[in-house]
Structure 1
Amino acid sequence: MKKAQPPTADRPLVPAVELLACPLLVTMGVLGKKWTLLILRDIALLKINRFNQIRRSLPGLTSRVLVMRLHELEACGLIEAVVVKESPRVVGWVLTEKGKDTIPILMSIIAFGIKWYADEIFEDHRPRTMSELYPGSGCP
């Protein structure tokens, strides 16, 4: 099997194996729905994992849509419900192993945003690096 070569100005990126579907298209079918990445951000990065906490953290997100997105993320195997307390029953959401693989995606999107959309993100409009945004976190 030949190794896929990175694209150049004159050469496209062609996979070394036949695909049933475009990986980007399939992934965006899951992660590209409105609110999904922000819900994952809350659970993965901000440690906001209860239904009402998530709803409050995302103004404009309705309870109906949040229920749908949580069920979709659970069905995809990215999150799972855990019982925090039995009586009264309190449920929280945690990332599965598969869900933890979305963290680098979230971090890449954050890095892109703080570099290229600094005028909309920061008061001083100055681009930042991840280590400037999250000092001491080990982010490059």
Structure 2
Amino acid sequence: MATAYQELGATQVGHLTRTVELYLAGPSMLWWLEPAATARVGFMASQPKAIGCLWLGQSINQLTGALQGYIYLVYVDPAHRRQGWGRRLMTHAQNWAAEQGYDQLSLQVLLDNLPARQLYKSLGYQDSATLLHLDL
């Protein structure tokens, strides 16, 4: 998680430990993508040399109040990008969410993460909110 945030320009990542404590303890799942993975067998238990990961859980839809599947993190090592791994991880996320009985799967993506946004759009994800901030 720290690697993903640092790639996007984060200067502080200490808060991520608290994020993991808050969300991984609840109803969430974490998968590691190992180098020898194939499209059929790509999601393994914890592996020391993972090239990617997928962290899923649940959240509440702010408009309807319904529980929904939520993608906390999807990450593929830069050396393994543009090989279909992100798309496979996202397909796995959709299947997992459907198996859990969720009617919706959501995620947050930073505006300047254009490759990720293009992937999500190609998979049918739609914009539903914009997160705004004001530096004080």
Which structure carries more strand by proportion?
A: 2
TM-score w.r.t. the length of structure 1 is 0.21
TM-score w.r.t. the length of structure 2 is 0.21
